[in-house]
Chains A and B, each alone.
Chain A
Amino acid sequence: DTGVSQDPRHKITKRGQNVTFRCDPISEHNRLYWYRQTLGQGPEFLTYFQNEAQLEKSRLLSDRFSAERPKGSFSTLEIQRTEQGDSAMYLCASTPVLTNTEAFFGQGTRLTVV
């Protein structure tokens, strides 16, 4: 297994368009997380799944954002009607189901809204 992979690595879109990102976690990891990182800041938690269940969502996750993990494997994060403020790096991470364990991050998807 090569770790957490994210696709695409870069996305440029026009304001108002919808975008979808994909994350493939480490295969034996039940938990999958999405974070957002803006320039010069640390990553901010958005949401996480345990298997296919979305267990927690940050207040940062507006109603234009939706995340799914339909079969408990890969996950998608969709942003509808993108705004310039959505420009950021979107990071995915995965962990096994253990309290206080290390997270493995993907390389991220850099979104630029023009």
Chain B
Amino acid sequence: DAKTTQPPSMDCAEGRAANLPCNHSTISGNEYVYWYRQIHSQGPQYIIHGLKNNETNEMASLIITEDRKSSTLILPHATLRDTAVYYCIVSPPDNAGNMLTFGGGTRLMVKP
């Protein structure tokens, strides 16, 4: 079962920052937080992952709270092409098989 809780849907205005929250209150040890997104009729796409520190790449920023019980994915300037389902996934450090356990995700709608 997924160890994360996300709001089922969110709206964001084009050009504004989209802040997608994720609760992982039962996160333990050195479990990683991953974010993927899935645009309609496509396979999931990796966005970013982190352990304890905040992370940034060309797509997004990941803010993890100090107690690691929640995180926020930030898309700094959302575009219409960012409309997708966003999945937050907690993955254990011994996940040598790299299997992913997806939850229901957040459906982000970017509006003009």
Which positions in A face B, CB cutoff 8 Å?
Answer: 4, 31, 33, 35, 41-45, 48, 55-56, 91, 93, 95, 98-108
Given that A100-B32, A100-B93, A102-B49 are contacting pairs, would A45 and B99 also be in contact in the complex, using a CB cutoff of 8 Å? Answer: yes
Size band of the interface chain B makes with A:
20 to 34
**How many contacts A-B (CB < 8 Å)?**
62
Contact A42 B97 (CB under 8 A): no
Which positions in B face A, CB cutoff 8 Å?
Answer: 2, 32, 34, 41-46, 49, 85, 87, 91, 93-105
Interfacial chain A residues near B104, Cβ < 8 Å: 41-42
Bound-state Cα–Cα, A4 to B49, Å: 21
Contact A106 B99 (CB under 8 A): no
What would be 17 A-B contacts, judged by CB atoms less than 8 Å apart? A4-B43, A42-B87, A42-B103, A43-B44, A48-B97, A93-B43, A93-B44, A99-B94, A99-B96, A99-B98, A100-B32, A100-B49, A103-B44, A104-B46, A107-B41, A107-B43, A108-B43
Contact A33 B99 (CB under 8 A): yes
